């Protein structure tokens, strides 16, 4: 995930693409959740991705990431313009980081089972960046499906596809 923009630039690009995808939606399309089998609205998926990105960003300062401690039902879920602005703001902040930070250690706090204790795991900035990118791509795929169902046809190229997924239609 390196390149001209660096590793952090890969996540910044995903967030920018997500902002471009949701900018074309109406408020009702952004907040609606009408697809059987996919939980949440497009706005809910945007908020969920941003929660993980913000947790990752905080971990760069604190050395600890707790992805389970997120805020649900925030204004980002219901306000498309706020979603676009929040995605673009996060993308700009992330693009400022250099790959020199990738080797820094982090601690990840996680609950592994319902009702289970909090477990702390050793990790690194690189590993958590990879996780947040993968997580964002997964939700981008769900946003794409929901977007297509409501008529959003101008999604960014390869939106919701992992970097190693072939470009051929129907490839899994």
Residue 55 lies in a domain: yes
CA distances from 33 to 28, 77, 122, 145 (A): 9, 11, 37, 11
Residue 168 lies in a domain: no
pLDDT tens digits, residue range 4-56? 468 999 999 999 999 999 998 999 989 986 666 677 899 999 999 999 999 99
Specify the CATH number for the domain of residue 88. 1.20.120.450
Does the predicted TM-score (pTM) go above 0.85?
yes
Count structural domains, the chain: 1
63 token code pair: 């050395």
- Give, to the nearest 10 degrees, the angle between helix 42-62 and helix 6-23: 160
Residue 125 lies in a domain: yes
Whose tokens are 């700009």? That residue is: 92
Q: What is the pLDDT at residue 82?
A: 97
Residue 159 lies in a domain: no
Mean pLDDT, to the nearest integer, of 146-169? 77
CA-nearest of 66, 83, 63, 62 to 20 is: 83
Which domain does 18 fall in, by range?
A: 6-149
Q: What is the pLDDT at residue 72?
A: 67
Residue 160 lies in a domain: no
pLDDT tens digits, residue range 42-98? 999 999 999 999 999 999 999 999 999 877 668 999 999 999 999 999 999 999 999
Residue 111 lies in a domain: yes
Q: What's the first-to-final CA gap in the chain, in angstroms? A: 20
Q: What is the pLDDT at residue 150?
A: 75
């Amino acid at each position: 995930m390196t390149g001209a923009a660096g590793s952090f630039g890969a996540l910044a690009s995903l967030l920018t693409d997500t902002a471009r995808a949701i900018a074309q939606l109406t408020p009702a399309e952004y907040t609606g959740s009408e697809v059987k089998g996919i939980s949440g609205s497009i706005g809910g998926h945007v908020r969920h991705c941003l929660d993980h990105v913000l947790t990752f960003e905080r971990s760069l300062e604190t050395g600890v990431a707790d992805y389970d401690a997120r805020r649900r039902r925030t204004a980002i879920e219901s306000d498309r313009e706020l979603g676009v602005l929040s995605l673009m703001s996060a993308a700009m902040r992330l693009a400022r980081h250099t790959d020199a930070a990738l080797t820094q250690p982090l601690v990840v706090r996680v609950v592994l089972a319902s009702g289970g204790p909090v477990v702390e795991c050793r990790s690194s900035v690189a590993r958590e960046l990879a996780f947040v990118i993968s997580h964002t791509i997964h939700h981008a795929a769900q946003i794409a499906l929901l977007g297509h169902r409501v008529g959003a046809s101008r999604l960014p190229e390869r939106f919701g596809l992992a970097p190693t997924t072939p470009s051929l239609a129907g490839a899994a």
